Amino acid sequence: MQSLELVEFLSNPELIPDLRELFRYNLLNFGRHPGNVKGDVVSNAYITRALEPIILRYSEHFKVVVVTGPRQVGKTTMLRHLAAAEEKQTGVERAYVTLDNDAIRMAAKSDPALFLQRYRAPVLIDEIQKAPELLPYIKMAVDESDATGNYWLTGSQPLHLMKEVSESLAGRAGIVEMLGLSHAELTSTPSEPYAPSPDYFTRRVNLATPITTTEVFEDIAAGGFPAIRALPTDLRAGAYESYLETYIMRDIRDLAQVGDELRFRRFMAACAALTARPVVYAELARLADIDEKTAKTWLSLLASTYLVKILEPYANNLLKRLSKQPLLHFTDAGLAAYLCGWENARTMELGAMAGQLFETHVFGELYKSFVNAGRRAPLRFFRNNDKKEIDLLLEQNGTLYPIEAKKSALPVARDAKNFHALDPVAADVPKDLRAFRREIGQGAIICMAQDAFPVSQSAWALPVWAI
């Protein structure tokens, strides 16, 4: 079967679910690295994921390890890779079962105790949110033993999953978020959380290999889903379409009753067009031809399945007239580009959305740098009613670190001019307001420069490929 026919085959909603899932699994594990694509020839080399040492450490200290994230970012592939290495080292095989299989899911839901007898620990259970009835029985099982790491679980719907985990496995589960491939993972560069300092900037530049602006947009177009990146360029559109059809038909229907799939698809496209922009529900509603209440509900669905992140605005009593609108970012800039009709990297680079997609790409790389280290990403954004904006704001240990994303190879001092809008939080204040005082740390302009260097006293330029 040719690749295009395979994509169409997988998109057929009438295909037997178990057979379709088998083909999807094979597609997901077929090709891994964009650097291995030569024409129509795709290698199946496994890409080491930055989260692997975190998973292994959690498995040593927690009885249950839960990996959450969007579908097809490689959660199961990574865990099965680690399970194979575990078996080779210890001789103990970890069972694997997916609850995407209708028959297996029904068995898990109807008789959880018998199910766990059939799939004994150590076990990897895929898409645990589809059978939350298992969680109380997993709790009983882990409470009977001091063994750690017996249960590895994955899930792609935290709206359901996290509630059940918090109620059934509190204190017993280590929870890790996983997103698509980062540039560091793709280039086998050591991954570390973003740390705004000249030492970090120069170290990262020395570790990474420079790439051009065109190559960055090729990276954006390819996205972070391993299976889609592995396909030849001309087949990626079909793969994105298959992903969206599966997402709408399966996950959204599991979460809520979305009666009009065409309007929901239009809503996703509207969100993609507004990535890296403040959320205006009235505008989303108008673009999708729905009411504002539905727009809020549907955006919550996108966030609950990890397709978008909603950044809260920074608030501080020492700053006046701040915007209260949150900011929208797609977790995968390639998916956002596809939804907006940008399938070609070159036209995307020269197009009207180049700045937005670059900013979303920067956000994604920064966000992944934290979650790939098992840490929360302390990112927000700043905007006041005078239209002064700072794309991203990192707050750590009482210090604010401003970040601008600029699609420029030659950043200049004026690119950081809005950083001064934060000055009031660092000024001397009366005693009763000192709790709101913050230091202003090293700012950064993340851009397409070929090196890291200071552009002003308050900001350094940092190439996006160095994160």
pLDDT digit string (tens) for 229-268?
A: 999 999 999 999 999 988 777 777 777 767 777 889 899 9
Provide mean pLDDT across the span 441-452: 97
* Tokens encoding 173: 């589960």
Question: From residue 409, how far is each of 211, 329, 406, 446 by CA, in Å?
Answer: 11, 23, 8, 10
Q: Strand, helix or coil at 155?
A: strand
Q: Strand, helix or coil at 251?
A: helix
Burial of 431 per CB tally in 10 Å (0-12, 13-18, 19+): exposed
Provide mean pLDDT across the span 430-456: 91
Stronger pLDDT, 244 or 321, i.e. the higher one: 244
pLDDT exceeds 90 at position 333: yes
Question: From residue 143, how far is each of 67, 139, 168, 233 by CA, in Å?
Answer: 21, 6, 11, 49
Q: Specify the DSSP class assigned to residue 332.
A: -
Distance CA 50, CA 192 (A): 9
pLDDT exceeds 70 at position 26: no
Q: What is the pLDDT of residues 170-210, one digit of tens each?
A: 888 999 999 999 999 999 999 999 999 999 999 999 999 99
Output the furthest CA–CA distance in the chain (Å, rounded).
73
Q: Which residue has tokens 């360029």? A: 233
Distance CA 71, CA 125 (A): 15
pLDDT tier, 44 (very low <50, low <70, confident <90, very high otherwise): low
Report whether 334 contacts 221 (CB < 8 A).
yes
pLDDT exceeds 50 at position 330: yes
Cis, peptide link before residue 53, omega less than 30° from 0: no
Strand 453-454, strand 459-463: pairing: antiparallel
pLDDT exceeds 70 at position 9: no
pLDDT exceeds 70 at position 406: yes
Q: Count the neighbouring beta carbons within 10 Å of the beta carbon of residue 310.
A: 13
Provide mean pLDDT across the span 308-316: 94
> Residue 456: what residue type?
S
**Residue ranges of E strands in 95-145:** 95-98, 123-126
pLDDT tier, 161 (very low <50, low <70, confident <90, very high otherwise): low
* Tokens encoding 153: 């679980």
Alpha-helix runs per DSSP H in 340-381? 345-350, 354-371
Question: From residue 146, how far is each of 62, 160, 312 by CA, in Å?
Answer: 10, 27, 40
Distance CA 302, CA 153 (A): 22
Q: Which residues are CB-neighbours of 232 under 8 A, at least 6 positions away? A: 3, 37, 39, 40, 42
Q: What are phi and psi of 224, to 5 degrees?
A: -110, 0
Q: Specify the DSSP class assigned to residue 352.
A: T
Report whether 437 contacts 426 (CB < 8 A).
yes
The span from the first CA to the last CA of the chain, in angstroms, equals 39
Stronger pLDDT, 41 or 444, i.e. the higher one: 444
What residues are paired with 151 via a beta bridge?
64, 123
pLDDT tier, 129 (very low <50, low <70, confident <90, very high otherwise): confident
Q: Count the neighbouring beta carbons within 10 Å of the beta carbon of residue 100.
A: 20
pLDDT tier, 433 (very low <50, low <70, confident <90, very high otherwise): confident
Q: Which of these, 228, 247, 241, lies nearest to 338 by C-alpha position?
A: 241
pLDDT tier, 323 (very low <50, low <70, confident <90, very high otherwise): confident
Distance CA 34, CA 43 (A): 9
What residues are paired with 454 via a beta bridge?
460
